[in-house]
Amino acid sequence: MSNVTIGISEIYVTNKPNEELITYSLGSCIGVTIYDPVAKIGGMIHYMLPLSKVSPEKAKTKPGMFADTGIPTMLKSLFGMGAIKDRLIVKAAGGAQLMDQNNVFNIGERNFLIFRKLMWKNNILIKAADVGGSISRTLRLEMNTGRVTIKTGQKVKEL
């Protein structure tokens, strides 16, 4: 198994069964895995912000920075590789309130809300999510099985 690290604002899509996709330090950011178990095609995004209108120029060069540009980009890549919408298994993690204890900006909450709206508008169900709270998470997707795990501190659980 070879690890592929997905950095902040990155999108990665693959059909290689020997890869394990991983992203670290999901605080207010959201990590999303999308997997087609029949075609064995999947991907991951680690986005920072909900809406690209705050920086349209940045969205053009780094669509993975924002939910509203990154999620559609990822879906197009998955469909282009042969994934079928009705088979997609979607899971998400992150959206914590780490540095905003007074809930002034609610970035984590807004990040997840926009993601849910995007999935709803595209008629795609979210199978599982581990979001909110005040903890950082690590997200993994095993391409050979589609298994998704979340690590918080020393605890690992399947999502």
Q: Is 102 part of the annotated catalytic residue set?
A: no
Give the active site residue among 22, 26, 29, 150. 29
Let me know: does 44 contact 29? Beta carbons within 8 Å: no
Name 127's Cβ contacts closer than 8 Å, sequence gap at least 6.
89, 90, 91
- Burial class of 86 by CB neighbour count within 10 A (0 to 12, 13 to 18, 19+): exposed
Let me know: does 49 contact 66? Beta carbons within 8 Å: yes
- Residues marked active site are found at 29
